[in-house]
Amino acid sequence: MALGLFVTGTDTGVGKTLVSCALLRMLRTRGVDAVGYKPIVTGIENGRWGDADALHSASDRIEPLERICPLRFQAPMAPVPAAALERREIDLDAARAALERLAEKHACVVAEGIGGLLVPLDKRTLVADFIGARDFRVVLVAKAQLGTVNHTLLTLNELHRRGLEVAAVIMNVTRPEDADNAQASRAEIERHAGRAIDATLPYFGGDIGTRLAAATQYLQVQLDLNRLLKEK
């Protein structure tokens, strides 16, 4: 079965997709048969599925979009209300089956959650439950805005409480005005969490291709892929 990383965040809009796609680029450039996966995406714009399409592209389209992201809902909302608008049930068994097929076929799966760790994927299952059932190592992405110390420590505490192994913590500067906050927040998180922030991404302007290329370069320097992917 494949090695696996599950990229989650302290919130929505923290840069999970950017980090997931950068990890896929790094792995595939190294010759690792890595594929992206996202159980659910919500929000379609101009016929594009946003995060799911980005993961599909970063995986060099080696699998159909329907397998990389099996559940897609048009409204840009949390999964449960988005599904309700379409009068559909969220079939997480289908999402799990798609993940198992990818894990059987490929050497590594880079999975991306939706929102933060405790977002409901259906009426019973949180993102954290989904991670725990597959036993992937977690990459936590935090954004460098005011409040990130609280959000990051809370998420790390919950991951620890659930016995989920944290492979890396990455701080992402999502707005230029937050750049000055990043170093101080990083120091506070490290002091209270008792662990290092493994990488920091500065603010990147430009289109998605430019941001992804820059993020990949920064993470290549700061992350040890061998350690990130070590088997439990």
- For the annotated catalytic residues, the residue numbers are 38
Contact 115, 141 (CB under 8 A): no
Between CA 100 and CA 143, with CA 8 as vertex, the angle to 5 degrees is 160
Alpha-carbon gap, residue 100 to 31, rounded angstroms: 22
Alpha-carbon gap, residue 52 to 158, rounded angstroms: 26
- Give the three-state DSSP class for 2: coil
Contact 2, 75 (CB under 8 A): no
The structure tokens listed for 90 are: 């969220």
- Give the three-state DSSP class for 196: coil
- Give the three-state DSSP class for 142: strand
Alpha-carbon gap, residue 199 to 206, rounded angstroms: 21
**If you ran DSSP here, which 8-state letter would residue 76 be given?**
S
Alpha-carbon gap, residue 93 to 27, rounded angstroms: 28
**If you ran DSSP here, which 8-state letter would residue 120 be given?**
B
